[in-house]
Amino acid sequence: MSYNVEEMSWSDARNLLRKWRDDNERKSDDVMQLWDNVLSSKQSKLGNERHLVLEQVIIAALDCNRIETAEHCVSILSAEFPGSLRIQKYRSMLLEALERYDDALDELEQIIRKDETNAAPRKRKVAILKTQGRTAEAIKELCDYMKIFMSDQEGWHELCNLYLAEGEYAKAAFCMEELLLHNPHSHLIHQRLADIRYTMGGLDNIEMAKTHYCKAVKLNVNNLRALYGLFLCCGHISNSKLVIGKRKEAQKLAQWAMAQIQARTQPTAKDTKGAIKTGKSKAAGCEDELQALEQAFGGLDVGKVAN
């Protein structure tokens, strides 16, 4: 922390916490330092912000495994707002931190029964089930959630991850297609949908993957993963039994993708002065392509895979 906590007044600490809340910054360790050294004994001076600060401290304490501090703050808020669903959510988070998952789920169920439109407890319930390894139940809960909150993009992302963990690639692809409806100009969503389609296999899925990889590259030409995926898809198509026109088109597209990969991964001309020679043999050219792929994708030993 760049601030001298010992020389900081309570008003400075309050203003700093307010700034972090407004900027949506967590900074849990720093929050706990300010609470321990400045604000814990000055709660009465916080005025209307006292409850907001207590909530901020609860989250920070749970992040830092300061269970006693979190319990203390939750007890203060519970005494002042005994029927608050918001405070009940914090109690469930505290139970979750104590690994009392069944009790936490009971608290969340009570909140959901009282307010079916409250998204936060439903998300926490999915998180607990995922933590326990109950993926199938987490998927069911998240599907019920998405029926109510269909525009929640984070929910579709999480549901896609859960389906992928279970090997349900077709359902994961559906989730990414829903995300495309919300954000059709995201190259990352096109890329991930293409990855899923490529993993599913089959010529139809490979062609769909190629289409989405092309879209991802069009939106961001520096997306190396999309370029590599496009290269692989075109390789499959060029060796398939499709009409010769599509195979030739795929070969040209594969060459273009490889040229783009090499242009973005090979050293500059200044660094390689004197190293480039004319009249390279075909084998040397293939070696350059393999080297470019290895540089682009984390040192994969492409040569051994190809052999």
Check residue 241 and give its pLDDT: 81
Question: How far is the C-alpha of 56 from the C-alpha of 66, rounded, in Å?
Answer: 13
Chain-wide mean pLDDT for the chain? 84
> Going by C-beta distance under 8 Å and a sequence separation of 6 or more, which residues neighbour residue 275?
none
Question: How far is the C-alpha of 98 from the C-alpha of 262, rounded, in Å?
Answer: 52
Q: Which pLDDT band, with edges at 50, 70 and 90, does 179 fall under?
A: very high
Question: How far is the C-alpha of 219 from the C-alpha of 187, rounded, in Å?
Answer: 6
**Which stretches within the chain are classed as H helix?**
10-22, 28-34, 50-63, 67-80, 85-97, 101-114, 119-131, 135-148, 153-165, 169-182, 187-200, 203-219, 224-238, 244-265, 282-296, 302-306
Whether pLDDT at 210 is above 70: yes
Q: Which of residues 81, 115, 141 is at a domain's end?
A: 81
**Residue 242 counted as domain residue:** yes
Number of structural domains in the chain = 2
Question: How far is the C-alpha of 224 from the C-alpha of 260, rounded, in Å?
Answer: 9
Q: Which pLDDT band, with edges at 50, 70 and 90, does 169 fall under?
A: very high
CA angle 47, 89, 13 (to 5 degrees): 30
**Residue 20 counted as domain residue:** yes
**Residue 10 counted as domain residue:** yes
Question: How far is the C-alpha of 188 from the C-alpha of 30, rounded, in Å?
Answer: 33
pLDDT 10s digits, 154-166: 999 999 999 999 9
Q: Is 195 exposed, middle or buried (0-12, 13-18, 19+ CB in 10 A)?
A: buried
Q: Which of residues 32, 54, 81 is at a domain's end?
A: 81
Task: Tell me 3's DSSP state.
Answer: S
Question: Tell me, what CATH number does 225's domain have?
Answer: 1.25.40
Answer whether 139's CB lies under 8 Å from 162's CB: yes
Whether pLDDT at 249 is above 70: yes
Nearest of 298, 299, 280 to residue 288 by alpha carbon: 280
Q: Which of residues 27, 46, 81 is at a domain's end?
A: 81
**Residue 229 counted as domain residue:** yes
Question: How far is the C-alpha of 66 from the C-alpha of 77, rounded, in Å?
Answer: 17
Whether pLDDT at 307 is above 50: no
**Residue 171 counted as domain residue:** no
In this structure, which amino acid lies at residue 14? R
Cα 208 → chain centroid:
24
**Residue 273 counted as domain residue:** no
Whether pLDDT at 304 is above 50: no
pLDDT 10s digits, 31-89: 898 888 888 888 888 888 889 999 999 999 999 989 999 999 999 999 988 888 889 89
> Going by C-beta distance under 8 Å and a sequence separation of 6 or more, which residues neighbour residue 211?
194
Q: What average pLDDT does this structure show over 251-271?
A: 79
**Residue 53 counted as domain residue:** yes
**Residue 284 counted as domain residue:** no
Give the domain range for residue 61: 6-81
